[in-house]
Amino acid sequence: MPSLIERVSSAGKRELQTRWSTQIDDYATCLSYSADGMVVAVGSASGKVWIQDARTGQTIRTLDAHSSGVLGLSFSPKKRVLCTGGQDGMARLFDVDEGRVIAELPGKAAWVDHVAFSPDGNWVATSSGKFVRLWSHAGVPALETEAHESTVSAVSWSRKGDAFVTCCYGGVHIFRMKANVKTRHLAWKGSLISLAQSPDGRVIACGSQDCSVHFWRLPSGADSFMEGFASKPKSLAFSANSRYLATTGEPIISIWDFAGKGPEGTQPIMLSGHVGLVTQLVFQTRGTTLVSGAEDSGILVWDPRIGEEPLGYGFLEESVSSIVIHPHDEAFTAADAAGNVHCFALPSSQIEKH
């Protein structure tokens, strides 16, 4: 079987421009851009967080965030306040410009697996074991959920910020921010391991331990699923216009079209280019450009509206562990299992179209 670089270069695809590259001290676990796009935070398996200048890649400072691995990062949409979650059972809020801790947010279990700021920056959700805690932007505790059926595997805010959503074994839970509004439970007899919400708030999709993708239409509560993936779909992503859902549990990416009556009974768009399991899928924030990363160390850029061939390619050194799109959509940063961090320019033709 030809390597990834042989496949894409022989097809005449353009190599992505590398804006900068650097390396941190350990496995790069997660990434997050500040809202102004000026810095990017890189979480490390060592427990450190590296703050890089997003234009040059120069290290501005390192934060001794956790005594063991960093599991999650989320910048506030308002200020350069960063929430981190770690294997030491803590979440922390940092003033990135000053490099100081604002507040410590203890978990309910050994790890704080997921952290997520609300779109308005007023709240931050942290998950630890079977519980999710809600804190103010200053770190004041506001809410703790009842125990989920199992360890929470994902936490995500609605685009409006009026609800946060979790998944675990047993289904999806939607927690409304309004007082006296009951939690909505979308039941599923299986273990859900990944979560994506459509930006228009109409669909929630989850990857399942049984190698399927289950989704719910929120207005009606109707549910459906796609099955037959080679392995667990750990990465899902909706396009900004809510039309396309990208899924993967193999080297091939499946794009499901939710236009009209939706994907039921239709064949997905199949994007074939990687030779290793796809690990990361991220759509552009205002368009339909998709960036994928895989165990083959490759990065591919696609647009499902245009066709089934990649628009460009790039490479790291090891399995791609995280990808994040710049807030202005002109670039993205990717990291790998060896601690390599690269910033790539998105193809200019795609920027101009959106």
* Per-residue pLDDT band at 17 (split at 50, 70, 90): very high
Are residues 125 and 234 located together in one domain of the fold? Answer: yes
**Per-residue pLDDT at 7:** 55
Are residues 225 and 315 located together in one domain of the fold? Answer: no
Are residues 193 and 90 located together in one domain of the fold? Answer: yes
Of 219, 250, 276, the residue that ends a domain is 276
| pLDDT surpasses 50 at 38 | yes
Instruction: State which residues form the domain around 158.
Output: 32-276
Of 276, 298, 315, the residue that ends a domain is 276
**Per-residue pLDDT at 354:** 39
| pLDDT surpasses 70 at 88 | yes
Are residues 272 and 185 located together in one domain of the fold? Answer: yes
**CA distance linking residue 86 with residue 253, whole number of Å:** 30
**CA distance linking residue 129 with residue 344, whole number of Å:** 35
pTM score, whole prediction: 0.94
**CA distance linking residue 62 with residue 43, whole number of Å:** 10
Residues 302, 295: contact at Cβ < 8 Å?
Answer: no
Give mean pLDDT, residues 251-275. 91
**CA distance linking residue 310 with residue 274, whole number of Å:** 10
What is the CATH number for 287? Answer: 2.130.10.10
Are residues 146 and 288 located together in one domain of the fold? Answer: no
256 dihedral zone (left: phi>0; alpha: psi -120 to 50; beta): beta
**Per-residue pLDDT at 347:** 87
**Per-residue pLDDT at 264:** 83
- Percent of the chain topping pLDDT 70: 94
Each residue's pLDDT tens digit, 126-136: 999 999 999 99
Of 276, 294, 329, the residue that ends a domain is 276
Contacts of residue 161, defined as CB under 8 A and 6 or more positions apart, other chains included, come to 118, 119, 120, 122, 123, 177
**Per-residue pLDDT at 178:** 86
**Per-residue pLDDT at 145:** 96
The rounded mean pLDDT for the chain is 93
Are residues 226 and 344 located together in one domain of the fold? Answer: no
Are residues 152 and 294 located together in one domain of the fold? Answer: no
CA distances from 172 to 142, 155, 168, 208, 281 (A): 22, 10, 7, 12, 21
Residue 15, strand partner residues:
313
Contacts of residue 112, defined as CB under 8 A and 6 or more positions apart, other chains included, come to 71, 72, 85, 86, 89, 90, 91, 105, 126, 127, 128
**Total structural domains within the chain:** 2
Are residues 122 and 250 located together in one domain of the fold? Answer: yes
Are residues 1 and 98 located together in one domain of the fold? Answer: no
Are residues 46 and 98 located together in one domain of the fold? Answer: yes
Residue 299, strand partner residues:
293, 314
| pLDDT surpasses 60 at 8 | no
φ, ψ dihedrals at 353, nearest 5°: -70, -20
Contacts of residue 115, defined as CB under 8 A and 6 or more positions apart, other chains included, come to 72, 73, 74, 83, 84, 85, 91, 124, 125, 126, 127, 155
Residues 150, 169: contact at Cβ < 8 Å?
Answer: yes
| pLDDT surpasses 60 at 157 | yes
Are residues 241 and 174 located together in one domain of the fold? Answer: yes
Are residues 74 and 91 located together in one domain of the fold? Answer: yes
